[in-house]
Structure 1
Amino acid sequence: MVKRFVVAPRGRWGTYPDIGSALRAAAGRRGPVRVEIEPGHYPESLTVRGEVVLAARGEPGSVVVNPARGTVLDAAGSVMVRGLELVGRDTDVVDLHAGTLVLDRVAVRAHGGVCLHARRDTAATLTDSEFRYGRVLFAGATGSVERCRFTDAADNALAVIESGRVALRDSRFTGSRIHGVRVSDARAELTGCQLSGTGQAAVCADTRAEMTVTDCVITAVQAEAVLFTGQSRGLMRGCRVSDAEHGVAATTGSDPVVRDCVFTDCRDTGINVADAGLGTFEDCEVIDARTVSVFVTRGGAPEVSGCRIVGGNVGVAVVDKSRGRFRRIDVENLPSVALRVREGSSAVFEDVRVERCTAGLETQGDAGTTAEVTGGLFHDCTMGSVAAGGQSRVTVRGVTARRGVVGFAAVEESTLRVHDCEITEMGMGVLAIGRTTLFARNLSVTGPDGPGLGSTDSAYLDVAGSRFTECGRVAVSVQGTSGGRLVDCSVTGAPGGMAVQHNGRVDLLSLDSSLRVAEQFSEPAAPPPATVVNNFNAPVFTGAITHSQVAFGNTHVIQQQTTQDGAGS
C-alpha cells in the first residue's frame, strides 16, 4: 500500500510545510511513498531515496522548486516526479545516481548547468516535459524520451555518451548552441522529432555511435542537419530537411544508410560525403542546393541510387581523389553541370537522366580521373552532354544525347570511349580537340547542324560501325594533324553534301556513302630563310668612314694625335 504525504506552503494541520520534511518523514517507512505538493514556491534541495513519487496537486508548473544553489533533485532508487518545475544554477539540476527516474510533465531549467544527469547503469524516462537552457545527459544510462521540448541549450540539448542507449519520440529541439542531439560511442533512436535553430549539426553521431533518425523534420540549422562522423553507423529514413548548410554528411569512415529523405534549400550541399566517408543513399531528393546537390570529396566513397536532383547549381560532384557509384540518378533544371568528376576521382553512373542543364557530364584531371556512364539520357544540355578534359578517361555506353551545342567532346589530352550511343539534334555530334583519343563503336549521329564527327589539332580517331545521318555540309571533318581510321561506317545526307573532309591522315575502310570524300593534304610549312654567318678578320664598314684611324693585324699599336700647330700630344 502506498503511503501518502501532503506538503502545503504554510503547513496546515496534517501536512508538511516543505518537501524536505515530508521526505524525511517518509524515509523511515518501507514500501512505496507518494508525496503530494500544493502549488507554491519551494526554495529547497531534494534528496530522494527509495520508491517515491513527487506529484504536484495543481496544474503542471504550479509547484516550483528553486534552491539558491546546488542540485535541486538528487535521486536514487525508483523515483517519479510529476508536474513540478525544477530550477537550478551552475550544477546538475537533476542528478540520477542509481536506479530509475520518471519525469512526467516536468519543467527543468538549468541556468549554467545540466538539466538532467543520468549516470551509468541508471534508466530515465521523460514524458511531456520541458528542458530549458541546460542539456540532458545520458552517460552510460538508458532512457526513453517522448513528447518533450528542449529549448535554448547552452551546448547540446541532449547527449548520449559512454555506451548509453536512448529512444526519442515526437520531441522538439530548438535553439541549441551546439547540437540538438549528440550520440557519442552510444546508441540512439529518433522518431518523429523536430529540430531547428542549432548552432552546429542538429543531430550528430560520432565516435562509433549507432543512430537511427526516422520521420524527423529539421529546419534552419547552421551546419549539417544530420552528421555521421568518427566511424559511426546508422539509418536516416523519411526525414525532411530545409535551410541547413548540409542536408546530411558522412565523414571519417562513417557508413550510414539514408533512405526516402528530402533535402530542400540547403545553403551548401544536400548530401555531403567527405574525408573517407562512406554511405548508402537511396531514393532521396535534393531540391535547390545552392552549391552542390551531392558532393563527394577528400576520399569519400558513397553509393547513391534513386536520387532526384532539381534546381540548384551543380548536381553531382566527385572531386579530390574520391569515388562513387550512382544508379538511377535524375537531374534537371541546373544552370551549371549535372555530373562532375575531377582531380583524380572516379565515378560510375548507371541509368542517369539529365534534362535542361547547362552541361551534362564534365571531367577534368590527370589520368586517374575516370568516369563511366552506362545507360542514360541527356536532353537539352545547352553546352553539351559529355565533355572529357585534361588527361581524364571517360567511357559512355548506351547513352542518348539530344539537343545542345555538342553531343560528346574530348579536349586537351583526354580519352573518350563511346559504345552504342545515339546523338540527335545537336549543333555537332562528337568533337575531338588537342591530343585526345576517341574510340567509338556503333555510334549513331542524326541531324546535327555541323559535322557529325569533327577533329583537329593532333587528336586520334578510331571509329567503327557507326552511322552519320543528315549531317551539315560535312559529316566527318578531320583537320590539323589529327588522324586515325574509320571502319565500316556509313554516311547519308542530302546530295551535294560531303561525307568526309580530311587531311590525308585518316584511313577510310569500307565507308558506305554516296556522298563525296574530299582529301585536303596540308602543305608543309615553308622552311625559314637561311641564315648566313660570315667571319671576318678585319672590321666591316657599311658606309663612308672619315677622320678615323684603324689598325688591325697588329700586336702593338702606338696612337699619336697632332694638334693644329703641328705639335704632337
Structure 2
Amino acid sequence: MVARYVVSPRGGRRAHRDIASALRAAAARGRAALIEIAPGRYEEALTVRGEVRLVAAEGPGSVLVGRTRGAALDAFGTVQVHGLVLVGREADVVGCHTGTLTLEHTEIRAHGGVALHARPGTSVTLRDSVVAHGRTLFSGGAGLVERCRFTDAADNAVAVIDGARVSVRGSRIEGSRIHGVRVSDAQAEVLGCELTGTGNAALMADARAHLTVADCAITAVHAEGIMFTEQSRGSVDTTRVTDAQHGIAAANGADPLVRGCVLTDCRDTGINVQSGARGRFEDCEVLNARNVSVFSTKGGAPEVHGCRVAGGNVGIAVTEGARGHFTRVRIQDLANSALRVWNESGAVFEGVRVDRCTLGLDTKGDGGTTADLSDVVLRDFETAVTALGESRVTLKGVTAERGAVGFFAGEEARVLVQDSTVTAVSIGGAVAAGKGRLSARNLTVNGSEGTGLAGSESGYLDVANSEFTDCASAGVAFADQSSGRLVDCSVNGTGGAAVLHNSRVEFVSLRTTLPVVRRTIRTVDQPPTVVNQIGPVFHRDVHGAQFAWNNDHVTQNQQTEGDDSSR
C-alpha cells in the first residue's frame, strides 16, 4: 500500500512544511510513497530514495523546487515526478543515479550545465515536459522522450553517448547552440520531431553510432540537417530538411540509408558524401540547392536511386577521387551542369533523365576520370556531353535532343559512343577538337543545323555503322589537322555536303547521294573568335569562326576554303 504525504509551506494538520522532511518520513517507513506538494517555491535540493512519487497538487507549474546554485533533484530507486518546475545552476539539475526516473508535465530550467543526467544502468522517461537552456544527457542507460520541448540549450539539447539507447518522439528542439540531438557510440531513434535553429548539425551521429530518423522536419540550421560521421550507421525516412547548409551529409566511413526525404533550399549541398563515406539514397527530392544538389567528393561513394533534382546550380557532382552510382534520377531546370565528374573520380549513370539544364554532362581531369552513361536522355541543353582534360566518357543508349552540341571531346579527352542518337542541334551532333578522340558505333544524328559529325584542330573521329540525316551544313566535316576513319556510314538528306574533308580521313563504304568535298586552306585576315570554358554557346548565327575550349590564351588564324568537289 502507498503511503501519502502532504507538503505545504503554510503547514497544517499532518502536513510537512518542506519536501525534504516528507522524504525523510517516507524513507523511515520504507514503503512506497506519494508526496503531494502544495503550490509554492521550495528552496531545496532533493535526494529521493526508494519508490517515491512527487506530485504538484494543483497542477503543472505550481511548484518550483531548487536553489540559486547546485542540483534540484537526485534520484536513487524508482522515482516519478509530475508537474514540478526544477531549477538549478552549475550542476546537474536532475540526476538519475540508480534505478528509474519518470518526469511528466515537468519543467527543468538549467542555467548552465546539464539539465537532466541519466547515468549508466539507469532508465529515464521524460514526457510532456520542457527543458530550457541545459543539456539532457543519456550516458550508458536507456531513455524515452515523448512530446517534449527543448529550448535554447547552450550545448546539445539531447546527448546520447557511451552505449545509451534512447527514443525521442514527437518533440520540438529549438535554438540549440551545438546539436539538437547528438548520438555518439550509442543508439537513438528520433521520430516525428521538429528541429530548428541549431548552431551545428540538427541531428549528429558519430563514433560508430546508430541513428534512426523518421517523419521529422528540420529547418533553419547553420550546418547540416542530418550528419553521419566516424563509421556511423542508421536510416532516415520521410524527413524534410529546409534551409540548411547541407541537407544530409555522410563522412569518414559513415553509411546511412536515406529514403523518401525532401531537401529544399539548402545553402550549399542537398546530399553530401565525402571522406570515404558511402550511403544509399532512395526516392528523395533535392530542390533549389544553391551549389550542388548531390555531391560526392574526397573518396565518397554513394548510391542514388529514383531521386529527383530540380532548380539550383549543379545537379550531381563527383569530384576529388570520389565515386558514385546513380540510377533512375530525374534532373531538371538547373543553371549549370546536370552531371559533373571531375578530378580522378568515376561515376555510373543509368536511366537518368535530364531536362532544361545548361550542360548535360561535363567531365574534366586525368585518365582516371571516368563517366559511364547508359539509357540516359538529355533534352534542351547547350551541350549534352562535354569531355575535357584526359577524362574518358562512355555513352551507351544515350539520347540528346534540342541543343547546340551533342557530344564533345576536347583537349585530350576520349568519348566512346554506342547505340546513341542526337536530334535537333544547332551546331553539331558529335565533335572532336584539340587532341580529343571520339569513337562511335551506331550513332545517329538527325536534323543538325550545322554538321552531324565534326573534327577540328587535331581531333580524331573513329565512326562506324552510323547515320547522319538532314544536316544543313554537312553530314561530316574535318578541318585543321583533324583526322579519322568512317566505316559503313551513311549521309542522307536533300541539301548540304555529305563530307567536307581535309584529306586526312579514311572512307570505307560511305553511302550518300550528296557531294564529298575536299577543302584546301590558306591563311588570310583574323576572324572573330569565341572563347568558352565549357563548350560552345551561341545566340545568333556565326560564320567562319574559330573555337577554343578551356584556354586562357587564344591565337587567331583566319582560314578560307577552296572547294575541290568529288563524289
Which letter maps to 1:299?
G
Q: Which residue of 1 aligns with 2:498?
A: 499
Q: Which residue of 1 aligns with 2:561?
A: none
Q: Which residue of 1 aligns with 2:115?
A: 115
Q: Which residue of 1 aligns with 2:361?
A: 361
Report how far residue 519 of structure 1 moved: 2.0
Q: Which residue of 1 aligns with 2:542?
A: none
- Which deviations, in whole Å up to 9, do the C-alpha atoms of 1:190-247 show, x marking residues without a partner? 1000000000000000000000000000000000000000110000000011000000
Which letter maps to 2:116?
L
Highest Rg: 1 or 2? 1
- Which deviations, in whole Å up to 9, do the C-alpha atoms of 1:153-203 show, x marking residues without a partner? 001000000000001110110000000000000000010000000000000
Give the Cα–Cα distance (whole angstroms) in 1 for the partners of residues 161 and 385 of structure 2. 48
Q: Please, which moves more after superposition, 395-404 or 180-189?
A: 395-404
Give the Cα–Cα distance (whole angstroms) in 2 for the partners of residues 421 and 409 of structure 1. 14
8 A Cα contact 1:88 1:113, kept in partner:
no
Q: Which residue of 1 aligns with 2:532?
A: none
Report how far residue 473 of structure 1 moved: 2.4
Report how far residue 430 of structure 1 moved: 0.7
Give the Cα–Cα distance (whole angstroms) in 2 for the partners of residues 430 and 403 of structure 1. 14
Output the TM-score relative to the length of structure 2: 0.91
Q: Which residue of 2 aligns with 1:311?
A: 311
SS of aligned partner of 2:22? helix
Give the Cα–Cα distance (whole angstroms) in 2 for the partners of residues 68 and 378 of structure 1. 67
Within a 5 Å distance, the mapping from 1:403-422 to structure 2 comes to 403-422=402-421
Does 1:198 pair with 2:175? Answer: no
8 A Cα contact 1:232 1:256, kept in partner:
yes
SS of aligned partner of 2:25? helix
Report how far residue 521 of structure 1 moved: 5.2
Give the Cα–Cα distance (whole angstroms) in 1 for the partners of residues 144 and 23 of structure 2. 27
Q: Which residue of 2 aligns with 1:545?
A: none
Q: Which residue of 2 aligns with 1:520?
A: 519
- Which deviations, in whole Å up to 9, do the C-alpha atoms of 1:436-461 show, x marking residues without a partner? 11110000100010000000111111
SS of aligned partner of 1:520? strand
Percent identity for Structure 1 against Structure 2: 57
Give the Cα–Cα distance (whole angstroms) in 2 for the partners of residues 6 and 500 of structure 1. 103
Q: Which residue of 2 aligns with 1:145?
A: 145
Give the Cα–Cα distance (whole angstroms) in 2 for the partners of residues 325 and 288 of structure 1. 22
Within a 5 Å distance, the mapping from 1:86-165 to structure 2 comes to 86-165=86-165
Q: Which residue of 1 aligns with 2:26?
A: 26
Which letter maps to 1:464?
A
Give the Cα–Cα distance (whole angstroms) in 1 for the partners of residues 317 and 260 of structure 2. 21
Report how far residue 59 of structure 1 moved: 1.9
- Which deviations, in whole Å up to 9, do the C-alpha atoms of 1:274-296 show, x marking residues without a partner? 11111001110000000110011
SS of aligned partner of 2:270? strand
Report how far residue 524 of structure 1 moved: 12
Give the Cα–Cα distance (whole angstroms) in 1 for the partners of residues 295 and 213 of structure 2. 21
Does 1:423 pair with 2:422? Answer: yes
Does 1:249 pair with 2:249? Answer: yes
- Which deviations, in whole Å up to 9, do the C-alpha atoms of 1:251-286 show, x marking residues without a partner? 000000000000010011000011111100111000
Give the Cα–Cα distance (whole angstroms) in 2 for the partners of residues 512 and 11 of structure 1. 110
Report how far residue 32 of structure 1 moved: 1.1
Give the Cα–Cα distance (whole angstroms) in 2 for the partners of residues 11 and 110 of structure 1. 29
Which letter maps to 2:230?
G
SS of aligned partner of 1:21? helix
Q: Which residue of 1 aligns with 2:397?
A: 398
Report how far residue 68 of structure 1 moved: 2.7
Give the Cα–Cα distance (whole angstroms) in 2 for the partners of residues 419 and 516 of structure 1. 27
Report how far residue 12 of structure 1 moved: 1.1
Q: Which residue of 1 aligns with 2:273?
A: 273
Give the Cα–Cα distance (whole angstroms) in 1 for the partners of residues 137 and 66 of structure 2. 21
Which letter maps to 2:416?
R
Give the Cα–Cα distance (whole angstroms) in 1 for the partners of residues 184 and 19 of structure 2. 37
Within a 5 Å distance, the mapping from 1:173-212 to structure 2 comes to 173-212=173-212
Q: Which residue of 1 aligns with 2:77?
A: 77
Mark the runs of 5 or more structure 1 residues left unpaired by the alignment. Answer: 526-569
Q: Please, which moves more after superposition, 390-399 or 25-34?
A: 25-34
8 A Cα contact 1:276 1:299, kept in partner:
yes
Give the Cα–Cα distance (whole angstroms) in 2 for the partners of residues 471 and 521 of structure 1. 22
Report how far residue 44 of structure 1 moved: 0.3
Report how far residue 301 of structure 1 moved: 0.7
Give the Cα–Cα distance (whole angstroms) in 2 for the partners of residues 411 and 12 of structure 1. 94
Does 1:332 pair with 2:325? Answer: no
Give the Cα–Cα distance (whole angstroms) in 1 for the partners of residues 442 and 363 of structure 2. 23
Report how far residue 10 of structure 1 moved: 1.3
Report how far residue 321 of structure 1 moved: 0.7
SS of aligned partner of 1:336? strand
8 A Cα contact 1:36 1:54, kept in partner:
yes
Report which of the two has the higher share of strand: 2
Give the Cα–Cα distance (whole angstroms) in 1 for the partners of residues 522 and 174 of structure 2. 76
Which letter maps to 2:276?
A
Kindly report the root-mean-square deviation, in angstroms, between the aligned alpha carbons of the 2 structures.
1.1
SS of aligned partner of 1:301? coil
SS of aligned partner of 2:312? coil
Give the Cα–Cα distance (whole angstroms) in 2 for the partners of residues 180 and 516 of structure 1. 72
Give the Cα–Cα distance (whole angstroms) in 2 for the partners of residues 291 and 68 of structure 1. 49
Does 1:322 pair with 2:322? Answer: yes
Q: Please, which moves more after superposition, 511-520 or 204-213?
A: 511-520
Give the Cα–Cα distance (whole angstroms) in 1 for the partners of residues 327 and 360 of structure 2. 16
SS of aligned partner of 1:494? coil
Output the TM-score relative to the length of structure 1: 0.91
Q: Please, which moves more after superposition, 259-268 or 24-33?
A: 24-33
- Which deviations, in whole Å up to 9, do the C-alpha atoms of 1:371-401 show, x marking residues without a partner? 01101111101x2111101110000110111
Give the Cα–Cα distance (whole angstroms) in 2 for the partners of residues 460 and 488 of structure 1. 17
Report how far residue 522 of structure 1 moved: 5.6
8 A Cα contact 1:504 1:521, kept in partner:
no
8 A Cα contact 1:341 1:370, kept in partner:
yes
Report how far residue 483 of structure 1 moved: 1.1
- Which deviations, in whole Å up to 9, do the C-alpha atoms of 1:391-419 show, x marking residues without a partner? 10000110111111101101110000011
Give the Cα–Cα distance (whole angstroms) in 1 for the partners of residues 379 and 522 of structure 2. 41
8 A Cα contact 1:324 1:348, kept in partner:
yes
Which letter maps to 1:88?
G
Report how far residue 479 of structure 1 moved: 1.2
